[in-house]
A and B are shown apart, each in its own frame.
Chain A
């Protein structure tokens, strides 16, 4: 092994050597700088690999030939090696990135850069507290120099403010060190402590050292100076400042804290306040680099929180802290480097990245890394952290961390939405090749780190799961034509189904058919798109991968990982819609909120045991069970869009692309239902203060079914109508699941199947109409029956099936439903559910009436039938519905038998003549025949009477003396159900939307008000730093005896 002291020696030596290079030979100076940084990185890499392979022991390097404390010693352990690598590699990449600026400023700037990186590795390795101070001062001076590499003139002022605050910090640090020495008689960190938590004597000394180190971490709110640097410095330097300086300073704080565990709560408190505070303030940022600054501050705060929990984390400490740190460092450096590719500083200017799809992929990767989504290190770390904290009775901290993470996800995904949806500037000059190269290297590092953490994790590696790999393969296939990719996608879905078929139990089988086979059917519609259709298949397949893994998940980890993967995939998919930017954001916000609830629920249930089998949910301790139930149920209900958590759905489903709407409606919603199913299967009888929790679910289901339907009838937009109807349908399903009896579950399963079929069919039909008419507003259409007969047939069949009139499968559902509720004893929700039936018919009627019947619009006279490939799946669905209506037993019988293992009572009896229940029987074939005969007779009668009919001309409409004030009001299909609105409109007031808007408004206003705290005055910043110390001291000394 090469001695680690060479890392420092090479940095320092090369910086001196630069002094001998001729001022004009910039190429040589730059080559020397790069060579030095590369050598430093390689030494660190060698040590890291050696530790990873288990070939190295933690080494102490003595300087000056004396053992500590008589001379400084450096230490190289696994953490030191990885951090040195992180620091040196960041420096190396940033040097290449800043080549132009470094050439402009010459060898002196390069020397300063080398000193900065050398000092950062020094901070990481040294075990001497005064040496720590010296390295920190070197960083201060180097930072003061490197800030000036920026072309932004404001950097000058930012640098001075930084120096002012750095002076205050260094005074405290030095006094603290001096008194620590006085108290301990040694400057070696290993000789310090343990110092008890106190604010006099040795305690005060350690307090000063710690508080100075904390101030280096830019704690909220004493961090205005750092934000100014982030905003104005060269992005190449900001990357170092965020990724390398932040990590090194954190490690310094960690080293000192490790000596005196009594002080850990202080770190936790400062960390979590910083994490939440900085994230809230970031909400109002429009400047990309300042936003990244806030986010950096927040992430370091999170890390400090984790450092503060090291007493609890034990052996997992390095894995967790390292995961968050690596994810933060790689993503933040990557984003800062990307910001150098963007010419202007507003978040919306990032739309320019669309010029290169790989950059958009990189952006998505970095955002996912910061939020802690799979398959990146932060995900594994978050999972373990939540589990250990929950088991250690620190649920409050889990809650705070997750709230902060959700806020961070909010602004990061909003930003991503800007980049993908906002207008890109014209006349784009092109990206610098070496800067882009650095971003790509970082991207690669991000995925590699994901693989490493997955490999290190005790849980399965997400990146070794076949469905995920298959989905990621589509990234490589992106250059192929869309139709070929479509074929591969269909083959993949069907192939996986065939491959896994023997392993499914009947419940999984139904969901697998819907997800995999159903997904393949919907993909048929995607043949309608030509060209390459960039960015469609990777997220779509990611969503399917998540879904396919979800239904097979045996442990809570796999379940949760699948859940996050499908959430992420579907977010990118929904975002593709032309107008879906805000809706995709609200989708991801609710989904992540739900996912975090699920994480907390699983962590609480597991109580420290990993892996945790899903089936073990049944054995959760009585005290924790109701909370587990509530957390999981809330999480799953964000996906089923139950009332209160539904506001994302209408926009997300309605604004999505034509073939995406059925995917996210017909298939994706089932994930939530599947989750609820698993939950109720294992924890269905959980009591909370004596009330069975399913009782609440019954109510939520009933209210969702009722209000969802009511909101649907007042829509003018056909796709929104269908979207609201999904809320209603999922409400039905939730209701019947929560009934907790045999028929209820059977019914829920019928809803799963039926909803997939008719919602997919209707979305495709409406999408086909939209493709021709270019409008989704129903009152702008009419009379399309003759022009689009196939679409009409599928809407008609869909409506018959959905509204539950005979003879189609909806009626079967109704029949089972009535049987199911007759055995239940909750009267009030049943009344709501009954009312939802006719309401469902009202909005469905409107769909067929306003689009296909009535007068044809002038501009629509030359329309053709919907595109062929959109019709193909619709016709398949029509055939299926007819078949399912005649022989429902084909599927349901097996499931019925399976449900009997949970509810032996109250099953159905399947005979050749029909299906018999306690209360009656249902003969699908007979019903089909009877209805057929009635239909044919009435049809013939109408034909016979047809000569009396009079063709109504357009404008043959009378008004009751009213003068129409807006053109659409002359159309009676507009505001079709006005009388109902008068009667029941108060029920659909957007109370829930108003509530959630108020939540975000309050957060935003708080942010806008609070950020005024950062006045921009260097003296104020210094005063804030001092105030921070004083407040901390007062609270601390007031809190300890």
Chain B
């Protein structure tokens, strides 16, 4: 199960990066990066997954004494939460950039913005 999740996570990452590098449209690039970061998050979660264990929530079903043996590793899940928030911030910023670029330059094609070079 974890392997499948991890494989599909990596597949998403590669797909996303491939998309970001082959699509010239800024919005498509941003979407592609979102896919890639989703892939990263999937990989992260799959790393912390331990077969046959339950969610790291301490309640009646998981008493404190035996929690360490029953739950999956909670740390990657915490990381994923943080990563999602950060990903949201970066995506929003990129979208704002795309909007502003389109407003000033009337184009969403990344290859139109090469006046800075060499």
Query: Interface of A with B (CB < 8 Å)?
Result: 130, 134, 137, 140-141, 144-145, 153-154, 156-161, 163-164, 166-168, 170-171, 174-175, 177-179, 181-182, 187, 224, 227-228, 231-232, 1011-1012, 1014-1019, 1022-1023, 1026
**Chain A residues near B98 (CB, 8 Å)?**
160
B17/A232 in contact, CB under 8 A: no
Of the candidates B26, B40, B43, B86, which one forms a contact with A134 in the assembled complex, judged by CB atoms under 8 Å apart? B86
A167/B97 in contact, CB under 8 A: no
The docked-state distance in angstroms from the alpha carbon of A187 to that of B97 is: 33
Q: Is B57 positioned at the interface, with any CB of A under 8 Å from its CB?
A: no
When C-beta atoms are compared, the residue in chain A nearest to B34 turns out to be A167
When C-beta atoms are compared, the residue in chain A nearest to B29 turns out to be A164
Q: Is B44 positioned at the interface, with any CB of A under 8 Å from its CB?
A: yes
B26/A178 in contact, CB under 8 A: no
The docked-state distance in angstroms from the alpha carbon of A1015 to that of B111 is: 10
When C-beta atoms are compared, the residue in chain B nearest to A130 turns out to be B79
The docked-state distance in angstroms from the alpha carbon of A1022 to that of B114 is: 14
B79/A163 in contact, CB under 8 A: no
**Chain B residues near A154 (CB, 8 Å)?**
115-116
The docked-state distance in angstroms from the alpha carbon of A227 to that of B110 is: 17
Name 12 A/B residue pairs within 8 A (Cβ), A-sorted: A137-B90, A141-B90, A156-B104, A157-B114, A157-B116, A167-B37, A181-B79, A227-B116, A228-B117, A1017-B110, A1019-B110, A1022-B21
Q: Is B75 positioned at the interface, with any CB of A under 8 Å from its CB?
A: yes
**Chain A residues near B37 (CB, 8 Å)?**
167, 171
A182/B86 in contact, CB under 8 A: no
Interface size on B, residues (CB 8 A): 38
**Chain A residues near B101 (CB, 8 Å)?**
156-157, 160
B43/A1019 in contact, CB under 8 A: no
Given A130-B79, A1011-B118, A1012-B118, decide whether A171 and B17 contact each other with a Cβ distance below 8 A: yes
**Chain B residues near A144 (CB, 8 Å)?**
90, 93, 97
Contact residues of B between 1 and 52, Cβ < 8 Å to A = 13, 17, 20-21, 24, 26, 29, 33, 36-37, 40, 43-44, 47
Q: Is B56 positioned at the interface, with any CB of A under 8 Å from its CB?
A: no
**Chain A residues near B33 (CB, 8 Å)?**
164, 167
The docked-state distance in angstroms from the alpha carbon of A348 to that of B90 is: 39
Of the candidates A137, A160, A228, A1017, which one forms a contact with B94 in the assembled complex, judged by CB atoms under 8 Å apart? A160
Contact residues of B between 56 and 79, Cβ < 8 Å to A = 75-76, 79
Given A156-B104, A160-B98, A164-B20, decide whether A178 and B115 contact each other with a Cβ distance below 8 A: no
**Chain A residues near B75 (CB, 8 Å)?**
181, 187
The docked-state distance in angstroms from the alpha carbon of A1019 to that of B86 is: 22
The docked-state distance in angstroms from the alpha carbon of A177 to that of B86 is: 15
Of the candidates A160, A187, A224, A1019, which one forms a contact with B21 in the assembled complex, judged by CB atoms under 8 Å apart? A1019
A157/B113 in contact, CB under 8 A: yes
Of the candidates A161, A167, A227, A1015, which one forms a contact with B90 in the assembled complex, judged by CB atoms under 8 Å apart? A167
A241 to chain B, nearest CB (A): 15
A178/B43 in contact, CB under 8 A: yes
**Chain A residues near B83 (CB, 8 Å)?**
174
**Chain A residues near B116 (CB, 8 Å)?**
154, 157-158, 227-228, 231-232, 1016
Of A164, A187, A1014, A1023, most buried by chain B (CB within 10 Å of CB) is: A164
Given A154-B116, A156-B97, decide whether A163 and B90 contact each other with a Cβ distance below 8 A: yes
**Chain A residues near B47 (CB, 8 Å)?**
178-179, 181-182
Q: How many contacts A-B (CB < 8 Å)?
A: 119
Of B44, B47, B98, B116, most buried by chain A (CB within 10 Å of CB) is: B116
B100/A157 in contact, CB under 8 A: no
B20/A167 in contact, CB under 8 A: yes
**Chain A residues near B29 (CB, 8 Å)?**
164, 1019
Given A130-B79, A134-B86, decide whether A153 and B44 contact each other with a Cβ distance below 8 A: no
A12 to chain B, nearest CB (A): 15
The docked-state distance in angstroms from the alpha carbon of A153 to that of B105 is: 10
**Chain B residues near A232 (CB, 8 Å)?**
116
B31 to chain A, nearest CB (A): 12
A904 to chain B, nearest CB (A): 66
B21/A1015 in contact, CB under 8 A: no
A1014/B26 in contact, CB under 8 A: no
When C-beta atoms are compared, the residue in chain A nearest to B33 turns out to be A167
B66 to chain A, nearest CB (A): 19
**Chain B residues near A153 (CB, 8 Å)?**
104
Of the candidates A134, A187, A227, A1015, which one forms a contact with B114 in the assembled complex, judged by CB atoms under 8 Å apart? A1015
B97 to chain A, nearest CB (A): 5
B110/A140 in contact, CB under 8 A: no
**Chain A residues near B118 (CB, 8 Å)?**
1011-1012, 1014, 1016
A175/B113 in contact, CB under 8 A: no
Of A153, A231, A1019, most buried by chain B (CB within 10 Å of CB) is: A1019
The docked-state distance in angstroms from the alpha carbon of A178 to that of B117 is: 35
Of the candidates B44, B89, B113, B115, which one forms a contact with A160 in the assembled complex, judged by CB atoms under 8 Å apart? B113
A157/B17 in contact, CB under 8 A: no
A178/B79 in contact, CB under 8 A: yes
**Chain B residues near A160 (CB, 8 Å)?**
26, 94, 97-98, 101, 110, 113
When C-beta atoms are compared, the residue in chain A nearest to B24 turns out to be A1019
B97/A137 in contact, CB under 8 A: no
Given A130-B79, A159-B97, A1018-B110, decide whether A1026 and B17 contact each other with a Cβ distance below 8 A: yes
A1023/B21 in contact, CB under 8 A: yes
The docked-state distance in angstroms from the alpha carbon of A170 to that of B33 is: 11
B93/A156 in contact, CB under 8 A: no
The docked-state distance in angstroms from the alpha carbon of A483 to that of B116 is: 51
Known contacts A181-B47, A181-B76, A1017-B114; 20 additional CB pairs below 8 A are A144-B90, A144-B93, A145-B93, A156-B100, A156-B101, A156-B105, A157-B101, A166-B90, A171-B36, A174-B40, A178-B44, A178-B47, A181-B79, A228-B116, A1014-B118, A1016-B113, A1016-B115, A1016-B116, A1019-B20, A1019-B29
Of the candidates A130, A171, A1012, which one forms a contact with B13 in the assembled complex, judged by CB atoms under 8 Å apart? A171
**Chain B residues near A1019 (CB, 8 Å)?**
20-21, 24, 29, 110-111
**Chain A residues near B82 (CB, 8 Å)?**
130, 134
**Chain B residues near A158 (CB, 8 Å)?**
116
The docked-state distance in angstroms from the alpha carbon of A170 to that of B34 is: 12
A817 to chain B, nearest CB (A): 57
Of the candidates A141, A161, A1026, which one forms a contact with B113 in the assembled complex, judged by CB atoms under 8 Å apart? A161
**Chain B residues near A134 (CB, 8 Å)?**
82, 86
The docked-state distance in angstroms from the alpha carbon of A156 to that of B89 is: 18
B57 to chain A, nearest CB (A): 18
A175/B117 in contact, CB under 8 A: no
**Chain A residues near B105 (CB, 8 Å)?**
156-157
A163/B43 in contact, CB under 8 A: no
A1015/B76 in contact, CB under 8 A: no
Given A157-B115, A178-B79, decide whether A163 and B94 contact each other with a Cβ distance below 8 A: yes
The docked-state distance in angstroms from the alpha carbon of A175 to that of B17 is: 14
The docked-state distance in angstroms from the alpha carbon of A883 to that of B29 is: 86
Of B21, B97, B111, most buried by chain A (CB within 10 Å of CB) is: B97
The docked-state distance in angstroms from the alpha carbon of A1017 to that of B110 is: 7
When C-beta atoms are compared, the residue in chain A nearest to B92 turns out to be A141
When C-beta atoms are compared, the residue in chain B nearest to A147 turns out to be B97
B41 to chain A, nearest CB (A): 9
**Chain B residues near A168 (CB, 8 Å)?**
17, 20
**Chain B residues near A175 (CB, 8 Å)?**
13, 40, 43
**Chain A residues near B94 (CB, 8 Å)?**
160, 163, 167
The docked-state distance in angstroms from the alpha carbon of A944 to that of B17 is: 102
A63 to chain B, nearest CB (A): 14
When C-beta atoms are compared, the residue in chain A nearest to B45 turns out to be A178
B113/A140 in contact, CB under 8 A: no
The docked-state distance in angstroms from the alpha carbon of A907 to that of B72 is: 93
A412 to chain B, nearest CB (A): 19
**Chain B residues near A130 (CB, 8 Å)?**
79, 82
**Chain A residues near B40 (CB, 8 Å)?**
171, 174-175, 178
**Chain B residues near A1014 (CB, 8 Å)?**
117-118
A1040 to chain B, nearest CB (A): 23
The docked-state distance in angstroms from the alpha carbon of A161 to that of B111 is: 11
**Chain B residues near A231 (CB, 8 Å)?**
116
